[in-house]
Amino acid sequence: MGWSRVLAGFTFLMTGGVAFADVTAEIGSKALSDSWAYNFLGDLTSEIGPRMAGSPAAHAAAEWAKRRLQQAGFDDVHFETFPIPAWTRGAESADVVVPSKQHLAVAALGGSVPTPAGGIEAEIVLFKSIQSFLDSAPGSLTGKIAVITQRQVRAQDGSGYGAIVGPMRVTGASEAAKRGAVALLIRSIGTDNHRVPHTGLMQYAKDAPKIPAAALSNPDADQLERLAAKGPVKLHLSLASELRDKAEAVTVVAELKGREHPEQVVLLSGHLDSWDLGTGAIDDGAGIAIAAGAARIIGQLPERPKRTIRVVMFGAEEIGAASKPYAEGQGERAANIVVAGESDFGARKIYQVSLPAGAGDSPFARQFAAALVPLNVDMGHQPARHGGADLEDLQEHGVPVVQFSQNGLDYFDIHHTADDTFDKVDRAELAQNVAVWASFAWLAADGDVDFRALAARAASK
């Protein structure tokens, strides 16, 4: 079907005529065959590589993304900057010294303080579950290295990650310090069996000493379990990380201005920053490629949609620092954001969509459900609850969110590791994501759906 036929049918869109379905079908077909997003991701991970928030590479990535978006025809491509603390990984090592000398694969957790010069040598106390660790008494770990080896459960929706990441990785070091530990090692929050550790953000409590913290590869966590079952184990740990007080993060914003209501915004997003071990392909180069690729498809239509489509590439998701500055920067304008979504779960196929509360039985839902059929995606029965980490503050300000559920069975094999590289991305699966996002964005931007009103109506019933 040619674009001329699609454009000719636009007058029938709001009456639910067949032309409406024609446009979404054409958008989906175009996205499935388009290679721009895949090439964007390949070039980003090759030409820039890892992009730690606040680093020179992150700033280079922002400049790179700005040029690519301008070349792709976006309007008002600009930066939004904000201050952050910047953490840098240094040399790191861990070795068993008792009962036998052997090397362990570790990665410092993001934000960890370094060990003292010369490292730390101490006996370990190993806990196979988070609960047994938390049940240990104050003072029971004095002078020891705490080791937690609870395993993450593999799940399609990634729920195994959320179940343990907070108490184990984020707050584990402070809990260990409260019990007297001099360092913390955790089994990597990941589902693989490779000797590749998974990094990730940790945070210190104000009422506890700051102790160094690192993640063990899963096979090395298994090794420590076996050794600890036989008798005392002593480790030597050395981390040379560095935390700077001030750095600058950069969020990249681009728009396709709406033809009738440019002040009304459909927001598509991902995050530009990544951890330093890999090249940030699935986390989250894929997400920004999907968001930008979807908007670009719509920008190639003969006519812009009624509302503005905004692409936001957040600059500091991995350290949890981008959501609040962006929401605060929007201020009262957040009320003009019609709906927002973030792609931040790799590039595997989308299998289900969850719409904002109250929208499940709306004309919009029926139109979108029809567009999803050829893409092999189901419409979920439950409303979207979490649009993405970078959208949390917008959600608190009442912005409706959409959630696209991807097949995440192997996502945490790669997440936050040196294996997060471009070869892990399947071109066809990435294109399916672009097709789903583009179909949604066009329907939301060219129609008159009011997700806030739908939610209020549903709440009043």
Residues 355-366 have pLDDT tens digits of: 999 999 999 999
Q: Is the pLDDT of residue 6 over 90?
A: no
Asked whether the predicted pLDDT for residue 370 surpasses 50, the reply is: yes
Q: Read off the pLDDT band of 459 (50, 70, 90).
A: confident
State whether 213 and 334 are in the same domain: no
Give residue 222's domain range.
90-240
Q: Which residues contact 131 (CB under 8 A, 6 or more apart)?
A: none
Query: Are residue 313 and residue 440 in the same domain, yes or no?
Result: yes
Q: Which of the four pLDDT bands, split at 50, 70 and 90, describes residue 19? A: low
Contact at 8 Å (CB) between 126 and 164? Answer: no
Sheet holding 92-98, edge to edge: 102-104, 92-98, 234-239, 120-127, 145-148, 183-187, 213-216, 106-108
**Reported confidence tier of residue 8, pLDDT bands at 50, 70, 90:** very low
Q: Which residue has the higher pLDDT, 9 or 293?
A: 293
Residue 399: the pLDDT is 98
Q: Please write the tens of the pLDDT for every residue from 413-429.
A: 999 999 999 999 999 99
Q: Where is the domain boundary, 187, 219, 240? A: 240
Say what the pLDDT of residue 5 is: 39
**14 pLDDT higher than 70:** no
Last residue of a domain, one of 201, 217, 240: 240
Residues 127 and 273 in one domain: no
pLDDT in tens, 68-81: 999 999 999 999 99
Torsion sign over Cα 298, 80, 44, 408: negative
Q: Please say if the pLDDT value at position 338 is more than 90.
A: yes
- Output the pLDDT for position 289: 98
Of 320, 316, 311, 326, residue with least CA distance to 249 = 316
Q: Which of helix, strand or coil describes residue 354? A: strand
Look at residue 9 and tell me whether its pLDDT is greater than 50: no
Give one DSSP letter per residue of 2-57, joined into a string. -HHHHHHTGGGGGGT-HHHHHHHHHHHHHHHH--HHHHHHHHHHHHT----TTSHH
Mean pLDDT within 317-335: 97
- Whether residues 225 and 277 share a domain: the answer is no
Whether residues 255 and 385 fall in one domain: yes
Phi, psi of 401, deg, nearest 5: -125, 155
**Full DSSP string of 252-279:** EEEEE--SSEEEEEEEEEEE----SSS-
Half-sphere exposure of 223 (CA within 13 A, CB side): 20
What's the maximum distance between 2 C-alpha atoms anywhere in the chain?
Answer: 78
Domain boundary pick from 187, 221, 240: 240
Residue tagged 């010369």 (tokens)? 118
How is the beta sheet containing 350-354 ordered, strand by strand? Answer: 378-379, 350-354, 403-406
Which 3 state secondary structure label does DSSP give 82? strand
pLDDT, tens digit (0-9, with 9 covering 90-100), for 104-126: 999 999 999 999 999 999 999 99
pLDDT for position 23: 87
269 and 353 assigned to the same domain: yes
pLDDT in tens, 90-106: 999 999 999 999 999 99
Residue 177: CB partners within 8 Å, gap ≥ 6?
184, 208, 209, 210, 211
Active site residues: 317
- Whether pLDDT at 310 is above 90: yes
Residue 327 and residue 312: Cα distance in Å, rounded? 12
In a shared domain, residues 128 and 206:
yes
* Same domain assignment for residues 235 and 260: no
Identify whether residues 115 and 101 lie together within a single domain: yes
184 and 333 belong to one structural domain: no
Residues 121, 225 share a domain:
yes
Nearest-CA neighbor of 30 among 253, 299, 303?
A: 299
Triad 433, 160, 382: Cα angle to 5°: 55
Number of domains in the chain: 2
Percentage, residues of the chain above pLDDT 70: 96
Mean pLDDT of the chain, nearest integer: 94
**pLDDT tens track for 212-252:** 999 999 999 999 999 999 999 999 999 999 988 789 999 99
H or E stretch including 98? strand 92-98
Q: In terms of domains, do 280 and 362 share one?
A: yes
Output the domain CATH number for residue 456: 3.40.630.10
Average pLDDT, stretch 24-46?
96
Residue 20's pLDDT is 67
pLDDT at 22: 82
CATH of the domain at 197: 3.50.30.30
